[in-house]
């Protein structure tokens, strides 16, 4: 599997280059940066701190389309949607880690998946994907007596809120409780808000310093509370998951998959 990484000089991009180089069964085919970037022509390995790889950074996906089988995209929603259109028109696989997509963009992914195999997941770490299973189990056992609150913390540069992972955690818990997250989610309370309603699922966001990604889900009732917590301490956990997903896509039929499929957790 030849992998192309777009957003190669970004926080995740550099980790993705390292994870690709370290993984078996895959190789780095291309690495892309923003059009006009001063990094065009630089060695992708040197940018990622893993030494020379002989793969020069480029700024056009069209120009390197023969150099890869699967694109890994951790960028922004609008760029990701352009890349999805490109990959589906050339029947290339794509692994998407970008968060903050609108409902309309998520629907477009479902259509594009008729023409290309796609893995789309807000969090590629094994730990978070196991946590999603634990959350469904906890919610089913605890039921409506326990208030659910989801607290997430990320670095100061993150642009979307709540995190994609927090939203997915909310969806999993809501589904297990027979609720629709769109109807029961409450974001960032402030002012004279009155008492909590029984079925709401609250989201709180912290943005500070260099936090890689913390998620904590509370189930609280009179007399006790349970907290299910995941803390990422390195972006390599996401990058390794994305490369695993890229490798997993080899020979897969067109369709929309997530990390639960990749990790066989369904
Ligand atoms: N699913 C998961 O497991 C994870 C998901 N994420 C998500 O991944 C996304 C990226 O996060 P992060 O790496 O921190 O963000 P960064 O801003 O560090 O990286 C994004 C990169 O994309 C580049 N870029 C922008 N436009 C283009 C373009 N037209 N062509 C090529 N490259 C372009 C940027 O370049 P420039 O800097 O020059 O603007 C930047 O290097 C976010 O949505 C985040 O939430 C993050 C971690 C884990
Ligand atoms: O932007 C980040 O950094 C992260 N984004 C993802 C999200 O929005 O859930 C995953 C991870 O927590 C890091």
Per-residue pLDDT reduced to its tens digit, 123-179: 999 999 999 999 999 999 999 999 999 999 999 999 999 999 999 999 999 999 999
With vertex at residue 206, the alpha carbon angle to CA 200 and CA 209, rounded to the nearest 5 degrees, is 165
How many residues can be counted in the chain? 266
Contacts for 194 with CB less than 8 Å, ≥ 6 apart = none
We find that the CATH architecture of domain 2-120+235-262 is 3-Layer(aba) Sandwich (3.40)
Instruction: Give me the mean pLDDT over the 36-59 stretch.
Output: 98
Alpha helices in the chain (DSSP H): 11-22, 44-48, 77-89, 103-112, 126-142, 164-176, 181-184, 236-248, 259-262
Looking only at the bridges linking them, the beta strands covering 117-120 and 70-73 are: unpaired
Average pLDDT over residues 183-201: 98
Region(s) of the chain under CATH 3.30.360.10 = 126-232
- Please list, in sequence order, all residues whose beta carbon lies within 8 angstroms of the beta carbon of residue 198, skipping any fewer than 6 positions away: 144, 147
pLDDT band at 204 (very low <50, low <70, confident <90, very high): very high
Q: How far is the CA of 201 from the centre of ligand 1 (A)?
A: 29
CATH topology of domain 126-232: Dihydrodipicolinate Reductase; domain 2 (3.30.360)
Please compute the mean of the pLDDT values over residues 246-251 and round it to a whole number.
96
pLDDT for 168: 98
Ligand 2 pocket: which of 80, 99, 233 to mutate (most atoms <8 Å of CB)? 99
């Amino acid at each position: 599997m030849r992998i192309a990484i777009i957003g190669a000089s970004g926080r995740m991009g550099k980790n993705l280059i390292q994870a690709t180089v370290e993984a078996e069964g895959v190789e780095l085919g291309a690495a892309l940066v923003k059009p006009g970037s001063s990094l065009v022509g630089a060695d992708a390995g040197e940018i990622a701190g893993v030494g020379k790889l002989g793969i020069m950074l480029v700024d056009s996906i069209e120009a390197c389309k023969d150099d890869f089988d699967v694109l890994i995209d951790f960028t922004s929603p609008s760029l990701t949607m352009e890349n999805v259109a490109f990959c589906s028109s050339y029947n290339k696989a794509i692994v998407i880690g970008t968060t903050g997509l609108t409902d309309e963009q998520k629907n477009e992914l479902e259509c594009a998946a008729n023409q290309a195999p796609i893995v789309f997941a807000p969090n590629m770490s094994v730990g978070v994907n196991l946590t999603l299973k634990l959350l469904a189990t906890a919610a089913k056992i605890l039921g409506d007596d326990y208030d659910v609150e989801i607290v997430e913390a990320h670095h100061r540069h993150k642009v979307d809120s709540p995190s994609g992972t927090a939203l997915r955690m909310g969806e999993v818990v809501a589904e297990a409780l027979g609720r629709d997250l769109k109807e029961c989610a409450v974001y960032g309370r402030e002012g004279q808000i009155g008492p909590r309603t029984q079925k709401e699922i609250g989201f709180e966001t912290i943005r500070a310093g260099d936090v890689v990604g913390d998620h904590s889900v509370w189930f609280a009732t009179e007399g006790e509370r349970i907290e299910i917590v995941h803390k990422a301490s390195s972006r390599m956990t996401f990058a390794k998951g994305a490369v695993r997903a890229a490798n997993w896509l080899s020979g897969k039929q067109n369709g929309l998959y997530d990390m639960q499929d990749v990790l066989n957790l369904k």
